Structure 1
Amino acid sequence: MSRLVIKAWAKTLRRSLSERSVADVVGLLSMILGEAVDEGLFGSNSCRNPRLNSGDQPERPHAEADEVTALAERTPAGNPVLIVTAAYTGMRWGELAGLQWSRVDLDKQEIRIDARDGALHEPHGKLHLNPPKTPAGVRTVHLPTFLAEQLAELAVREADRAVRVHRPGRRPAPPLHFRRRVWLPALQGDTTLGWAPIKPHMHFHDLRHTPKTRLIEDGVTEVLQHKRIGHKFRGVMGVYSHVTRPMVDAMLAGLQARCEQYGSKTL
C-alpha cells in the first residue's frame, strides 16, 4: 500500500464525506497500520502524515443578525428557540437537540453541557444521549439577557420537554426531519408570504460561524471565542490564557446590543 494509493483513496472519500470525516478515517487507518508496524507485520506505515491536499474549499456562509431573526420567524412554534440559541451561542445541533431543562439555569442565565449526556447522537440510525463531540464541548454557555428571557417563556409552556426535541417516553426527532420540515423551508422562503430566500445552501451547522464571526467583530478575546463554541484552544496561548467573568460580561453585553439593534422573535 503506497502513499499514492492512500491519497487516491482519500480523494474518493471526499465525494461523500466532509474533510473532517476524511481526516478521521485516514487517521484511524494510520493508527491501525502503526500497530501493525509495531507488531512486525509491516515494515513501515505508509499512511503516516500523508499530507492530504484538500484543495481550495469554498467559504461557508454565515447568517447576519437580521437573517437569524427572519429564519426564526419562519419556523413553527417550538423551533425559533433552536435557531436563535444556535446563532447566539454557537452550540452544536446535538447539544441543542439533547438539551434538558435540568441543564438550563435561568437564574444564572447559563446552559451546562454535561460530560455524560450533553449531546444527542445518531449512531447507526438510533438516537442516544451521549457525551459531547469532544472534551472541549463540555462547558458552561452563558446567555445574554434576551435569550434567557425567551427560554424562560418557553419553559413555562413546555417544562416537561427538552428545550428542543426530547420528550420523556418519545423518540427524539432526527436531524433529517428537522432539516426537511423546518430548516430548508425557512431558507427557501415563500413568495405567497413575502419571504425571500435566505442563503438557500446554508447548513444548520453554519450557524456556528455566525457567533464566531460576531465575537471577532466585537473584539472578544480568542480564548473565550474557543470556549464559547466548544473548541480546544491549542498552543501556548491555550495553556496560559483563561476566561474571566469580566470577559464574559463584555461578550454578553455585545450580544445583547446586537439583539436590541436587530430584534429577535419572541419564542
Structure 2
Amino acid sequence: MGEWVRRWSDAHDVGAGTWAKYDSHLRNHILPRFGEVELGEIGRMTVKAWVKSLRRSLAEPTVRDVVSLFSTIMNEAVDEGLIAANPCRRLRVNTGAGDERPVATPEQVALIVGRARLMDRVMMIMAAYGGMRWGELAGLQWRRVDLDGGHLSTDAKVGALHEVGGTLTLGPPKTKASVRTVHLPPFLVDLLAELRESHPGARYVFTAVEGGWHRRANFRRRVWLPAVAGDVKRGWNPIAPGLHFHDLRHTHNTWLIEDHVPDVLRHRRMGHRQKGVSGIYSHVTPPMIAAMLDGLQRRWEQTGSTDVGDHYWDASVVKISCSQSAPTTQKRPVGDDHQQAV
C-alpha cells in the first residue's frame, strides 16, 4: 500500500491546501495502518474495523474525509488493475447530520465589528455583506477594487491568500467559479474609501496590525473571539458565542435568500457553479444586482450603524432584539491594541 500511495501521490494534482489535508490523513491515519500491507490483502472487514477504531479518536467529519481519501486511492488501484475491487465500495460511513452552522443578524454583525479597529471592522463587514471567503479577503489587493464602479474582482492567479504548513502564499481562489466580480452596496464603498484614505499607498486592503498578511489563527485569537464571545477585561459581554468567521459567509447567503435574490445571482456572488439546466440558461442582469444591493444597504441602515470612524463605535444606536445577548451600550474607545496604525 505504501508503494502504491507514493505512485498515486506523484500523479495526483490538487491545490496546495487540499494536498496538505491529504498528506495529513495519509501520514497520521492511512499509512500507519496499511502502509506495509499488500493491496490485495486489504479486505472489507479489515477496513470496517479500522473505521470503527478511527471513530474512537476522531470527529465524524474527519473520519468521513479519511475514508473518502482511502476509497479514492483504492478506486485508482482498481482502475490500474492492481486489485479486483475496492474494499470501501458501498461502505457506509454514517457521520450523521452535523450541527447546523449559526447565522448572525445584522444587529449582531454591527455589534461584533464595533469591537475592532477600522481595517478589521471593514474586513468582517465585507464577509457578511459581500460573502467573500477568508482567503479572498486576506489576499485582496487595492488594484482589484474599483470604488468608482462600486465593485471588486478576484484575481484568477493570485486572488486568495493560502496558509499551508505555516507558510503564507498568494494563489488562485478555491474554484474557477470563485473568479468573479463582487458588487458592493453604497455604505461598503464608503467604508472602503475611508480605509483607503487612512492607509495611502497600501498594496493590500486588509493586513495585520504588524503590517503583514493576516494569519487566521492570530486573527481569531486577537480579534474574532473577543468580539463574539466577549472579553471580561474590556467589559464586553458575549454577542454570538460559537459563531465562526466563515459563518459570516453563511449569513450573507441566508440574507440573500431572505431578500429573494435569484439563485443564479446568489451562486455567482458566492463563487459557486450553478449546476443543471439553470446554470446554463439563467443569467445575471443589472436589475437583479441593483435589487440585491438595495436589500443589503437597507439591512445596514436598519441597524442604525452610521458611525464608521476608527475612534469609537456608538453601540447605543444599534437596534437590539430583546432575546439577543449584547454588550453594554455605553460609548467606549476601542482598545489600544486595536488602535495601532498599520
**Structure 2 length normalisation: TM-score?**
0.70
SS state of the match for residue 78, structure 1?
Answer: helix
In structure 2, the gaps of 5 or more residues are: 1-41, 310-342
CA offsets 1:20-78 (integer angstroms, 9 cap, x no match) = x6655544433322221122211012334644322121111111001111111101342
Q: What residue is the counterpart of 1:63 in the other structure?
A: 104
| Matched letter for residue 54 of structure 2 | T
Counterpart pick for 2:146 among 94, 105, 129: 105
Counterpart pick for 1:164 among 195, 200, 206: 206
In structure 1, the gaps of 5 or more residues are: none
Q: What residue is the counterpart of 1:78 in the other structure?
A: 119
CA distance in 1, matches of 2:241, 2:205: 26
Q: What residue is the counterpart of 2:253 in the other structure?
A: 212
Quick one: structure 1 residues 239 and 45, their matched pair in 2 at CA, closer, same or farther if it must change by over 3 Å?
farther
CA distance in 2, matches of 1:141, 1:124: 30
Counterpart pick for 1:249 among 286, 290, 315: 290
RCO greater where, 1 or 2, for CA within 8 Å and sep 6 or more? 1
CA distance in 1, matches of 2:96, 2:151: 40
RMSD: 2.6
Quick one: structure 1 residues 6 and 131, their matched pair in 2 at CA, closer, same or farther if it must change by over 3 Å?
farther
Large movers: runs of 4+ above 6 Å:
none
CA offsets 1:176-210 (integer angstroms, 9 cap, x no match) = 00000000010122456653201211111111111
Greater Rg, structure 1 or structure 2?
Answer: 2
**Structure 1 length normalisation: TM-score?**
0.89
Task: State how 1:228-267 maps to structure 2 within 5 Å.
Answer: 228-264=269-305, 266-267=308-309
| Matched letter for residue 206 of structure 2 | R
Query: How far apart are 1:6 and its partner, in Å?
Result: 5.6
CA distance in 2, matches of 1:106, 1:119: 20
CA distance in 2, matches of 1:241, 1:10: 45
Quick one: structure 1 residues 146 and 238, their matched pair in 2 at CA, closer, same or farther if it must change by over 3 Å?
same
| Matched letter for residue 42 of structure 1 | I
Counterpart pick for 1:138 among 176, 179, 196: 179
| Matched letter for residue 162 of structure 1 | Y
Aligned length: 265
| Matched letter for residue 181 of structure 2 | T
CA offsets 1:127-169 (integer angstroms, 9 cap, x no match) = 01111111121111000011011101111111314111279x9
Identity %: 52
CA offsets 1:194-248 (integer angstroms, 9 cap, x no match) = 5320121111111111111111111101111111111221222222211111111
Q: What residue is the counterpart of 1:180 in the other structure?
A: 221
Matched, 1:129 2:170: yes
CA distance in 2, matches of 1:67, 1:117: 32
Q: What residue is the counterpart of 2:12 in the other structure?
A: none
